[in-house]
Structure 1
Amino acid sequence: MDANELRDKTPDQLRDQLDALKKEAFNLRFQQASGTLENTARMRTVKRDTARVLTVLNEKAAAAATAEA
């Protein structure tokens, strides 16, 4: 997932994607605890994608706050 792709999305779309990523992270943690996780690298990519989405959301919030002032 590229940050430039995320910047083109609306905040609502970003929140939906964030929810999906958090659910996936939960499922991956559950699989790891039960010993059925096959692709351990997926946990890392989900964490990083979550961080990217949060970063873009914060950028958009800061831009909106600046535009109001």
Structure 2
Amino acid sequence: MAEMKTADIRAMSPDQMDDAVLNLKKERFNLRFQRATGQLENTSRLREARRDIARIKTIAAQQRAKKK
């Protein structure tokens, strides 16, 4: 999965954002396990997943603040 673009995230519904965060957290968990066992080939993916989660949460918070 490639890095998510902000325009793609902004087009998502709140439910889709929640699903994306959940999937990224599962992926991050699996990547951490792979790193611990020495099987992780793409080490930069861990960082990308962490930043994607933060990016989605930030945009979701901005959208919630805008609705108020």
- TM-score, normalised on structure 2? 0.90
Superposed CA offset, 1:26-60 (max 9, x none): 00001111111111011111111111111111111
Counterpart-to-counterpart distance in 2, 1:2 and 1:56: 11
The answer for the alignment partner of 1:50 in structure 2 is 53
* Unpaired segments ≥5 residues, structure 1: none
Aligned length: 65
Q: TM-score, normalised by structure 1?
A: 0.88
Residue number in structure 2 paired with 1:7: 10
SS in 2 for 1:37: coil
Q: CA deviation at 1:64?
A: 1.7
CA distance in 1, matches of 2:67, 2:31: 34
Aligned to 1:61: 64
Structure 2 portions without partners, runs of 5+: none
The equivalent residue for 2:42 is: 39
From the two aligned structures, give the one with the greater helix fraction.
1
Q: After TM superposition, what 4+ stretches of structure 1 lie above 6 angstroms from structure 2?
A: none
RMSD: 0.8
Which has the larger Rg? 1
Identical pairs, percent:
46
